[in-house]
Amino acid sequence: MSVFPKISLRPEVTEHLRTIFLNKELLVAVGHHEAEHRFQKLLACLSHPPSHTCVRASTHLAPLEEIRHRLEEELKKQQMCSSSSEEVSLQILPHPRLPDVLLLPVDGPRPVKQLSSEVVVGAQCGTAVLRGAHVFAPGILASPKYMKVGDVISVFSDLEGKCTRGALSFQGKTAYLGNGVAEMDRSSIFCTDEPVRGVGVRMTEPLYQSPSFDGVLPNLVFLQNLPSVVVGHVLGPQPGERILDMCAAPGGKTCHIAALMGDQGEVVALERIRNKIDRIRQNAQTLNLRCIKTYCFNSTQAVSSDLNQETEGPPFPPESFDRVLLDAPCSGLGQRPNMASTWSLKEICSYQPLQRKLFHAAVRLLKKGGVLVYSTCTVTLAENEEQVAWALDAFPCLTLQPQEPHIGVEGMLGAGLSPEQLRLLQRFSPELSWEQTDPTTTPLPCRADGDTIGFFIAKFLKN
């Protein structure tokens, strides 16, 4: 059910996306009316959260059923300690095709009444609240002048990034997220020289109800979008292999690869931005994974010209890795929920050259007979199917491979790929299933497979 406006984009970005989703190949296949309908549904569903919370279980540490049972107990404790008097039914289901995934339905939108006292939070904080988080103090931009601990308040998200931190009120464009109880006074949030930390508002009546996983079984469960978990399985890591994750932060996929290998072998994680390296290491330590080696390095320069290099870190000699994951930097237009983006068309279109530089390095670093998986969390053709068409032309040694599991849809028309090639690609297109499945009759795993973030996966073999 649509309760928020369609994602707010710059007009030139909206028009650019329209030309993608109404390209000539698609218009011939489905017609103008259906293509326009899908495009409008995409803009609508991007501003809403998926219908489920996906949790990747640490099955390298404990059986799935044991983790499911312990998670159920922890979330029941959380319910009992909650200040909300509302009883929420708890459902935790295993995914039928992903042996390390648990799914929890999201209840929403719910009939929650807006209050007169309001707090405004930033867009990133608002996104987290819609996915089950409480409001952490750094995300609060505006609050009533005399807000004190225990006040019941409504929470709104600033849609255009125009609210000034410390404001008493805000008249700009917002979206209502639900109600909560203040855990801090206004003065504790804004009138301090020290960086503010901790929960500022505890959500008691969220518009979308899902559990908060803050501090819940950190070594056994890891919040991750469903397509991101699929990527690790498609890569197919095996114990004893040497695997490269080229753009590794924050480390969710890196850790998944290591877990699928049973922590046997070596996973090399490269990340260009230094302050993100600690997050990867922290996740690996929390999940008891020791085979991960992290380096702060630009992956476009990860190929060494010294074939006799003896140092273990980057750059690496050609053909150093059995498998390579290139989860490429991208425009991120598949992320949900995302109510607004202020990016220019130039910024949206800036990623293709970088992705191709990374692709060149990935192919050179991959052993013959090795597997390369390319993925993005965006919906554009230029960063997805067009990159596949380019790669197949630029690297005759690469061939597309079937993906397992394949729970998304095939690739999108518009890049000149053959039907056979499109069938080997995997695109998660939430607009194709959003608002079309009845939650009362459709099993959660079936809904979860379609109602995801927008995502793309291609798998190649180096011959």
The residues annotated with a catalytic role in the active site are 377
Question: Up-side HSE of residue 61: CA atoms within 13 Å toward CB?
Answer: 21
Cα angle 169, 159, 168; round to 5 = 10
Question: CA-CA-CA-CA torsion for 99, 105, 426, 405, nearest 10 degrees?
Answer: 20
- Return the DSSP state at 7: P
Please say whether the beta carbons of 286 and 217 come within 8 A. Answer: no
Of 28, 24, 5, nearest to 381 (Cα)?
Answer: 24
Distance CA 1, CA 44 (A): 10
Q: What residues contact 130, with CB distance under 8 A and at least 6 apart?
A: 48, 49, 177, 206, 207, 208, 337
Indicate the residue type of 354.
L
Can you list the alpha helix ranges (DSSP code H) found in 212-273? 226-235, 252-260
> Taking the mean position of all CA atoms in its chain, how far away is CA 172?
28
Determine the Cα–Cα distance for residues 241 and 198; give it in Å rounded to an integer: 41
Phi, psi (5° rounding) for residue 361?
Answer: -65, -40
The DSSP code sequence of 305-370 is: S-TT---SSSSB-SS-EEEEEEE-----TT-SS--B----HHHHTSHHHHHHHHHHHHHHHEEEEE
CB 271 within 8 A of CB 245: no
Rounded Cα distance between 309 and 293, Å, is 18
Please report which helix (H) or strand (E) contains residue 77, including its range: helix 64-81
Residue count of the chain: 463
Put residue 435 in one of left, alpha, beta given phi > 0 → left and psi -120 to 50 → alpha. Answer: left
Report the alpha-carbon distance of residue 76 to residue 87 in Å, rounded: 10
Q: How far apart are CA 178 and CA 123, in angstroms?
A: 15
| Distance (Å) of CA 84 to CA 68, 79, 88, 120, 374 | 24, 8, 10, 21, 44
- Of the candidates 300, 199, 181, 307, which has an alpha carbon nearest to the alpha carbon of residue 247? 300
Q: Give the CA angle between residues 314, 249, 141 to the nearest 5°.
A: 145
